[in-house]
Chains A and B, each alone.
Chain A
């Protein structure tokens, strides 16, 4: 079954406390060359068939429900390989 992938990230200018906690843990392991970590979300929407209409609906959903434009950006809406 085809899958539409939607990826959402916290806005770049916002503090991401979860990502910061992971970056802190990496630094404690001596891996501070990974200087920054940001954590986002990936949604996999399974559909019977990918059509232009379904893709358009997925884009709409990504903006309206799957993300909150005040705090997040939709970075990807694509059909999975």
Chain B
């Protein structure tokens, strides 16, 4: 299975996302923001970083990139799309996911290992988890506060579109402790924390068993691989 990772000007974690795809057993395909070619991939990752220096609004200029018209069409046709951090912001600006992401309420950039609760284990990217499972992956952002109007928030909660919630302290003031969302169909998922940084023992978050041994992020990528295999 081929998973495309799109590089935008200012993407930082595109190589990390490609590595995560490979460690999960997929083929990583580098895609370019300025192209209209998805290169026949089966799924797409929008990686973290600071596309266009976060100018205008985080993800806003990248959301108008040439390749995004193909990404939007593919997402609406059911292709799995994962947006991580800046990729989540791009999905929101492209209206593939609702709401908005604003500066952390305390005003500081935050970088730490973050515990999340999986609220929806029926999406293309979370099917390998169980509902209610707690996972730990890195979080690193300055503008991760999720907001939406009351009506949108009620709909997201009511229809199970909250995919992940922060556990323990809320790191950025996100409404309802929301860390990530899915669309109604379950193929588009976005979250602020970084699963691609927790995919290989020795380089992940600390766990009770051993330092840096956390690989909870790998399940995002194995989930989409297995979902695709089951469909084939």
Contact = CB atoms under 8 A, between A and B. Distances in A.
A5 interface: no
Contacts of B173: 15
Interface residues of B, number: 19
Interface in B90-138: 92-93, 98-100, 102-107
Interface residues of A, number: 12
A65 B64 contact: yes
Contacts, number: 35
B60 interface: yes
B93 A68 contact: yes
A43 to B, nearest CB: 9
Given A17-B106, A18-B107, 18 more contacts: A10-B102, A14-B102, A15-B102, A15-B173, A17-B102, A17-B103, A17-B104, A17-B105, A17-B107, A18-B103, A68-B60, A68-B93, A68-B100, A70-B98, A70-B99, A70-B149, A71-B57, A71-B102
Interface of B: 56-57, 60, 64, 92-93, 98-100, 102-107, 147-149, 173
